[in-house]
Amino acid sequence: MTHRFAAALAALALAVPAAHAQYPTRPVTMMVPFAAGGPTDTVARALAVSMGKALGQTIVVENVPGAGGTIAPAKLKNSSADGYTLLIAHIGMSTAPALYRTLPFKPVEDFEHVGQVVDVPMTFIAKKDLPPNDFKSLVDYVKANKDKVTLANAGIGAASHLCGLLFMSAIQTDLTTVPYKGTAPAINDLLGGQVDLLCDQTTNTTSYIKSGRIKAYAVTSKARVPSLPDLPPAAEAGLPGFEVNVWHGVYAPKGTPKPVIDRLVAALQAGIVDPAFAQKMAELGSVVVARDKATPDGLRNHLKAEIDKWTPIIRKAGVYAE
């Protein structure tokens, strides 16, 4: 080894850890796989503020919607593994492998897992002038009017798609589904009366339910949601065993250096207990995860367990996207 080469190597060895030690020196981008104003976007924007505070840098939210939320993870896979591009994604990371015949990424193998964020129940909501007034009558109405009732979702792989799929399977009735780039645009059409029904996360629906601009029938969690006490769980209101809980995780490109991941994990853990974040999440019916879940292992293990849980259910329902 020449003297000069050895010196260069030594300089590199010093420079690399130093670069990590200073991370982040510029704004970090957090991709959201759905349209602005929707449930994932709402969690992302609140988290960007609290996590950014802990990181000492701005986190910029970038909406990369489409294909039921599968375009953003594909983009993350091809992003630089330097900690400046991240992704927040939900339960769809565990259902997409079963739903898509060809998926350009593997959720467990292709990413670094930073940690889980929040758990969010969903709500069955409808346009204001849909006749039924309770969940049981809604099921009867939908069955009797299956040729005209429309069910919105945010594309194959979205939580709203999964919930709708389970709903149609539980009531053994197929409806016409209408895909959007996120449930923010879906709810706009629900408000305008262009679609009838939607199953969407409380992070998006709570304010509309409270202001009475839409009808709400049930929650998808096992127990009632404290911020929406009037809504029964669907499992108690006619669909025994029905349960969908949406969870969110933060991902980084594979190969992101360990010191950078460690910084992100610390910022995530500080971010989720930040009072402003925690309070906003509670108001929107969602629950911040315990600290041991806001870790790479916490997210990876949950992701694997959810893939194992949903794959047979989706296979049985026989739905696929190309």
Q: Which residues bind ligand ASP (CB under 6 A)?
A: 34-35, 38-41, 90, 154, 158-160, 182-184, 200
Please name the helix (run of DSSP H) or strand (run of DSSP E) that holds residue 201, with its range, or none.
Answer: strand 197-201
Residue found by looking up tokens 């349209």 in the block:
35
* Closest by CA position to 110, among listed 67, 62, 77, 71: 77
Nearer to ligand ASP, 177 or 183 (CB): 183
Q: Which is nearer to ligand ASP, 164 or 257 (CB)?
A: 164
CB of 246 to ligand ASP, least distance (A): 7
Report the residue number, 34 or 141, with the smaller CB distance to ligand ASP. 34
Of 51 and 163, the one with the shorter C-beta distance to ligand ASP is 163
As measured in angstroms, the least distance from the Cβ of 220 to ligand ASP is 12
Q: How far is the CB of 154 from ligand ASP (least distance, A)?
A: 4
Nearest partner of 161 among 43, 315, 314, 304, judged by Cα? 314
Determine contact, residues 254/112, Cβ cutoff 8 Å: yes
Asked whether the beta carbons of 38 and 182 are under 8 A apart, the reply is yes
Task: Say if residues 96 and 70 touch (Cβ distance below 8 Å).
Answer: yes
- CB nearer ligand ASP, residue 90 or residue 300: 90
Choice between 184 and 260, CB closer to ligand ASP: 184
Burial annotation 304-318 (CB, 10 A radius, 16+ → b, else e) = eebbeebeeebeeee
> What's the rounded Cα separation, in Å, for the pair 78 and 190?
36
Of the candidates 237, 224, 256, 206, the residue with the CA atom closest to the CA atom of residue 80: 256
59 versus 158: smaller Cβ distance to ligand ASP: 158
Closest CB 160 distance from ligand ASP, rounded Å: 3
Q: How far is the CB of 190 from ligand ASP (least distance, A)?
A: 13
Minimum Å distance from CB 229 to ligand ASP?
24
Give the orientation angle of helix 258-273 with respect to helix 275-283, to 10 degrees.
60
Q: Please, what is the minimum distance in Å from the beta carbon of residue 31 to ligand ASP?
A: 12
